[in-house]
Structure 1
């Protein structure tokens, strides 16, 4: 099976052809999410260090999908399918928008920008974009939808609609003030400001992908080069370092955002959605989790740290299901610190005779879009590890996981099972053997600043 063979085939038809959702995704030729920018500008270790010690400039213009939603019913469409509260949500603000299926399981999330009256931009992985597009088409909504694919999927030769540059790190405010020639206004987390850079109006979201102080700056694509040049000049003397795709791919590990849990779209009551959705919109499944029941891969918002976002102040798809489980025990989002001796032993197996462990890519160990590894305690599965990578700032391999609540206390010892039991047909998978890697539970976010400070205000 090739990527080309997946084109123009409905997801439901592909599932039936493959003999099940897990079988289809585990052998999918679709590679992990790509960041179509330079891999490194200096080296990824220095670039990781920049968001702790100075300021990293990350180019977000190319790897995310934008869904522009406008019209009289835009707000209602978003409310009907978002778990978030929309009270006091007004232009100039943003939120981490989360959608669930009717049973309360997670479908997807993205950053929702409230640009102007009746005008929104949903930015991120396309899982939640697809869901809203389907619901807009199937429901009675007076909305206009315009989709700008990421640069990997966009029609060749066409540029993005907007540029996005992230300034991240202790000196981010200094860089922005040098670029604007003005003090940066006081602004709360996930609120927007307008500034002028290189004579251009630039919108800035107070944000932080790596859990450090920062702003996401955006504007019309044709103005991006002038703005970028001004930022680079302003960054001289303030420790500004451009960060490439390798470093950027690990930023979420420090802020503890899990980028792509399995979307819960495989129940019988969503068959019509799967018949509408093109299979190429899905990704591949990798990791040691080997259940044939796709529901075993699902998570609820509570399981991945989004319980704080759920607001039962409006009707939305999945509300009743989430209300029914609100007071029950849930898995907890944690950081797992992998045992360094076990990691180096797994890497060392590449240099010894016999079948080695699954290759651990540096700095991001992801080899599928839905990277889901088993977390074990005394041989029993107690959770799912869903994203792993190396943090040069800590000299550690860590992963983000969802664990049974009773094992979520920092210091708890568990095991991550790395590699696939039966090697799949994914092009990213070589012949390998599974290995057990000891891990210690830690807080999420792992970095103390991200955990205690950067969302305040």
Structure 2
């Protein structure tokens, strides 16, 4: 066993919770310009006109090829792979043998026997582990994100176009009518004389495309988009605004990876996985049992993704979980007066409330705050931040099903006790912030109901 592996780090720390709460590992970063104008205006662009988001640098790609590439993915993913032909994509979800989430990513079927798995490293490491230990006639080439890549540019550029004018912009820059492309299907365009692949996608509740191709074509394509975009209100979106888009659409970007079960497969994985690949946990959740931090696909809205038409890691556990009561994913709208009081405590004798770094207030890789009703923990508040379009601070959360009705009042406990050793955590006091349950995705509900109130 390597002294640098997760198993060795766990032995030194004594428990998973102690290990992860005190790791200095930061939240996922977007290694692009923080703001091109200001993040409030940039958030508005995907509602009012068209947002251009540079996805080239913050995600990891795993290119899997070979006759057994699809079998590998089917053995690990909860998804169905029936009729998953070239030119399609899907949200790939993987769980551990107990049915708890390892992670998710977007899987592109690029060519016969060639796939690209794109996302956070948690699920990509898991797939790589299974390829290394299994009998698969397949190979994988990894392209880490720009924050950790040792040298050179990414293999692919990726530009996201989202908003009401995105379709018209694509028609202008390609010089052709927009093809009829189904959601999460791919098309091919020609932009600036370059072949461009496009995934029909939606983010923050708005229509759009994810454009990608060889890195060396990226500058020419970007220049063409910026020029054509002048007529369509195109706004370049920086890292700060981009990091909040999921709060409107309802995607939980970094759920806690369930790595610490006693299953023999997980013990083997911890001996294989470098400890440096493991993220930190932050927030008021303070259980000593790491299982209390883990989530299932059903809790975060992936129930429709689970298909029992094939054998995969965690199938038996998910079949049982599918029959059991599950917590429900919701949006929590934090009480404006309580948030203002917490922010205002920075200007009073301390210690004050834990600092809220707007617009995204997550300060660890996996953020989990307790959701309470009458002092009883009823769920977990996960990703949190400020939405200028709704003038509200919100979080994505999982709560007991009977509390998921919009309008239900709960409380979020903000801040840590005791204070962990993470560098991002200063001396502070915990505060209770009232919150109101709203649907997921939040954006349509907010425009029809929340704003009207």
The answer as to 2:209 corresponding to 1:228 is no
What is residue 175 of structure 2 aligned with on the other side? Answer: 181
The answer as to 2:348 corresponding to 1:352 is yes
Shift of 1:448: 1.1
Matches within 5 A, 1:436-455: 436-448=432-444
Q: 1:306-329 CA deviation, whole Å, 9 max, x = no partner?
A: 001111111111111111121221
Secondary structure in 1 aligned to 2:378? Answer: strand
The answer as to 2:137 corresponding to 1:132 is no
Check the 8 A contact 1:72/1:143 in 2, yes or no. yes
What is residue 252 of structure 2 aligned with on the other side? Answer: 258
Shift of 1:451: 11
Shift of 1:271: 1.0
What is residue 9 of structure 1 aligned with on the other side? Answer: 4
The answer as to 2:337 corresponding to 1:341 is yes
* Cα distance in 1 between the residues matched to 2:203 and 2:415: 28
Q: 1:165-223 CA deviation, whole Å, 9 max, x = no partner?
A: 00010111011111101111011110000000000000000112222101000000000
What is residue 313 of structure 1 aligned with on the other side? Answer: 309
Shift of 1:104: 0.7
* Cα distance in 1 between the residues matched to 2:254 and 2:248: 16
Check the 8 A contact 1:255/1:450 in 2, yes or no. no
What is residue 157 of structure 2 aligned with on the other side? Answer: 163
* Cα distance in 2 between the residues matched to 1:399 and 1:26: 20
* Cα distance in 2 between the residues matched to 1:405 and 1:67: 36
* Cα distance in 1 between the residues matched to 2:238 and 2:289: 37
Dislocated runs of 4+, deviation >3 Å: 449-452
Secondary structure in 1 aligned to 2:231? Answer: coil
Check the 8 A contact 2:353/2:431 in 1, yes or no. yes
Which of 95, 112, 121 is the equivalent residue of 2:116?
121
The answer as to 2:189 corresponding to 1:195 is yes
Which of 27, 30, 39 is the equivalent residue of 1:44?
39
* Cα distance in 1 between the residues matched to 2:53 and 2:205: 14
Check the 8 A contact 1:35/1:62 in 2, yes or no. yes
Extract unaligned runs of 5+ from structure 1: 1-6, 453-457
* Cα distance in 1 between the residues matched to 2:280 and 2:143: 22
Check the 8 A contact 1:445/1:451 in 2, yes or no. no
> Measured at CA, do residues 88 and 450 of structure 1 come closer, stay the same or move farther in structure 2, by a change above 3 Å?
farther
TM norm structure 1 = 0.96
What is residue 3 of structure 1 aligned with on the other side? Answer: none
* Cα distance in 2 between the residues matched to 1:338 and 1:147: 40
Shift of 1:8: 7.1
What is residue 27 of structure 2 aligned with on the other side? Answer: 32
* Cα distance in 2 between the residues matched to 1:308 and 1:335: 19
Extract unaligned runs of 5+ from structure 2: 449-453
What is residue 426 of structure 2 aligned with on the other side? Answer: 430
* Cα distance in 2 between the residues matched to 1:353 and 1:67: 50
What is residue 329 of structure 1 aligned with on the other side? Answer: 325
Check the 8 A contact 1:333/1:400 in 2, yes or no. yes
TM norm structure 2 = 0.97
Shift of 1:450: 11
RMSD: 1.3
Matches within 5 A, 1:207-226: 207-226=201-220
> Measured at CA, do residues 20 and 355 of structure 1 come closer, stay the same or move farther in structure 2, by a change above 3 Å?
same
* Cα distance in 2 between the residues matched to 1:21 and 1:234: 51
* Cα distance in 1 between the residues matched to 2:251 and 2:419: 28
Shift of 1:76: 0.3
Q: 1:118-166 CA deviation, whole Å, 9 max, x = no partner?
A: 000000001111111111111111111000000000013x100000000
Check the 8 A contact 1:254/1:450 in 2, yes or no. no
What is residue 19 of structure 1 aligned with on the other side? Answer: 14
Q: 1:261-289 CA deviation, whole Å, 9 max, x = no partner?
A: 11111012211100100011111110000
What is residue 361 of structure 2 aligned with on the other side? Answer: 365
Check the 8 A contact 1:444/1:451 in 2, yes or no. no
* Cα distance in 2 between the residues matched to 1:52 and 1:84: 31
